[in-house]
Chain A
Amino acid sequence: MNGRALLRRLAGLLYGAVLIAIFAFLTAPVFVVTTISFSNESFISFPPARWGWRAYEQLLKDETWLQPLLRSLELATSVGVLSTIIGVIAVLGIRRTRLRGAALWEFVGLGPLVAPGVAYAVALYAFYSSIHLLGTFLGIVLAHTVLALPFVLLIVGAAMTRVPRQLELAAQSLGAGRIEAWLQITLPMLAPAVIASFVFSFITSFDEAVVANFVGDIGFVTLPVQMFDSVRFGVEPVIAAVSTSLLAFTALFGLLYGYARGRA
């Protein structure tokens, strides 16, 4: 074996090692928290001395966790539906009408993507307190919808470029009104993007803690907020169970998104 081949071999090994290290660094926390969630002890230890479902039983029995979980699911679903509907209509308006200042509207819609989250949360706190939306379901749905909207605009906007405008014109020439053409031709072709938008909006809302902490106040505590609060007073295995559930939900929706993309 000559020197160059040896060098190449070493480089290959190094490359493999780095890849494995990165992968391990990314997945190890997930592995650890999942393992801990199946601990039957009352404090966190890794690996657990006793295994069992205690943490999950506690999660489902304990009102402190079950309530925020259901609340977060309800919230994320509402945000997913609302931002997807608004986003699709916005994209149609921006791309398929003679709306003045379309580019400006799109820019405004994408704003939350770059706005600093904490600052926005503080601003919302001040604003909501003056219009009595603090701690309400509606208030937090609206705030999260704003945060999720950029994803819908980007995903549906990208998909829209692949729907030729000619199809809408064809539908109109065949007797459809403009809205009919959108509903019957454009929307079905956007279906995968619409599903993906829902998934992204859902996840955006489901694990959002900063804005939820501010505008939810004490009246509306979501799951991520409850998790923050709980680690402040001490770490129990139940928090690992909550984290694992959250991961499982997100992964499930990620798969759904992958399926939708595969079909697109």
Chain B
Amino acid sequence: MTAVPALELVGVTKRYGAATAVDNLDLQVAPGEFLTLLGPSGSGKTTILKIIAGFEQADRGEARIDGRDVSVLSPGERQIGVVFQHYALFPHMTVAGNIAYPLRRRRWPRPRVDVRVAEMLRLVRLEAFADRYPRQLSGGQQQRVALARALAFGPKLLLMDEPLGALDRTLRLEMEEEIRRIHREAGASVLYVTHDQEEALTLSDRIAVMRNARILQAGRPRDLYERPNGTFVAQFFGDCNLLPVEEVLGRAANSARVRVFGQDVSIPASCSPDKIGVANAAVVVRPQLLSIGAIPAQVTVPAVVRELLYLGNAIRLTCELAQARTLIASVPAQGAGETKVGDTITLSWDPAAAVLVLADGTATTVDKETP
């Protein structure tokens, strides 16, 4: 990347008493990029946002915006748009008043303010609501006002803290599209925080998965979904089967030859294959990778259907294998034929589409001090 990052975090650390909220974190957001910090609550993502916005001071490290360290600047001087989970609209001001607020603070002349407010109302499609008060708007409309207000002064960086958390599902999907469109049109870089992996997959150019104050993996949504670097990331993005490695038979540049279900196959690894062992690795097989029937050159396993969920476009099968292990398969509805609960079927999966990852789930110790 040759351009100066819109946002760069270098070794940012923040402690609250004995608890470490952000641990020596590095992160870059490219100009115009939509990056999502994804993680369970308490993983430190909101603290990062607060440090960038200037609501909190980092104990160590730097936050740079356009290459400039902003640690000494007050929140107002940083020229960052912030959208809060509960909108934080000013209840005693109209929609237009809210959007004009950052412009008044910057002493824009009145006519210019009016033009800009109209422009922002058009951007979020709320032209007819200029004179309403926030309490007269729905949740989705309030969130759009919050967006318009945060973007009004033309910040190059927009921070969004779980902005859709308070909305119901239908509205959330609608707002996701809206946010994508506004991001495209406004052209600002976005750092977005959420714990919802679907939201992250839909919205982001890049996702950074956080856990215990650190970033576990950062990359394009597809990379994270298809090539997670550990069991935590694999499991975070929806259903996945984690199959134990029975024996490691050989290692190549980017893959390892392992025994799974008694069959010897070569599976791509998301880490250096040298690290793969029997005790510390697992094979990630997404449910939709499985299909019914024996397919040559694939791993096959006999299974008994224990549960069958019809989902319209797909059928979700919970299958029992030998030794009381289970596999979840998602197959196209028409491909499932007359499969019933209790049937014995053969499941196949392509080892080249699976991925070997290191186990970092619950077994990992939480606080490893870096010297």
Interface on A for B, CB 8 Å cutoff? 164, 166-167, 169-178, 180, 185, 188-189
B55 at the interface (CB under 8 A from A): yes
Given A175-B106, A177-B76, verify A170-B153 contact (CB < 8 Å): no
Given A172-B75, A174-B153, A175-B102, verify A166-B90 contact (CB < 8 Å): no
A-side contacts of B105, CB under 8 Å: 174-176, 180
Does B153 contact A175, Cβ atoms closer than 8 Å?
Answer: yes
Does B91 contact A173, Cβ atoms closer than 8 Å?
Answer: no
Does A164 contact B88, Cβ atoms closer than 8 Å?
Answer: yes
The 3 closest A-B pairs by CB, nearest first: A175-B105, A174-B102, A170-B88
Given A172-B74, A177-B74, A189-B92, verify A166-B102 contact (CB < 8 Å): no
B258 at the interface (CB under 8 A from A): no
B80 at the interface (CB under 8 A from A): yes
Residue of B nearest to A189 (CB): B92
A-side contacts of B55, CB under 8 Å: 169, 172
Residue of A nearest to B78 (CB): A173
Please report the total number of B residues contacting A with Cβ < 8 Å: 24
Given A172-B75, A176-B76, verify A167-B102 contact (CB < 8 Å): no
B183 at the interface (CB under 8 A from A): no
B200 at the interface (CB under 8 A from A): no
Q: Is the interface of A mostly helix, strand, loop or mixed?
A: helix
Does B75 contact A169, Cβ atoms closer than 8 Å?
Answer: yes
Closest-CB distance, A246 to chain B (whole angstroms)? 36
Annotate B51-93 by CB proximity to A: 1 below 8 A, 0 otherwise. Answer: 0011100000000000000000011101011101010111110
B101 at the interface (CB under 8 A from A): yes
Does A166 contact B88, Cβ atoms closer than 8 Å?
Answer: yes
Does A173 contact B90, Cβ atoms closer than 8 Å?
Answer: no
B149 at the interface (CB under 8 A from A): yes
B-side contacts of A164, CB under 8 Å: 86, 88
Does B88 contact A169, Cβ atoms closer than 8 Å?
Answer: yes
In this complex, which of A169, A173, A178 has the most chain B Cβ atoms within 10 angstroms of its Cβ? A173
Selected from B53, B90, B92, the residue in CB contact (under 8 A) with A171 is B90
User: Can you offer 30 A-B residue contacts whose CB atoms are under 8 A?
Assistant: A164-B86, A166-B84, A166-B86, A166-B88, A167-B90, A169-B82, A170-B82, A170-B84, A170-B88, A170-B89, A170-B90, A172-B54, A172-B55, A172-B75, A172-B76, A173-B75, A173-B78, A173-B80, A173-B81, A174-B76, A174-B105, A174-B153, A176-B76, A176-B101, A176-B105, A177-B74, A177-B76, A178-B74, A188-B92, A189-B92
B-side contacts of A180, CB under 8 Å: 105
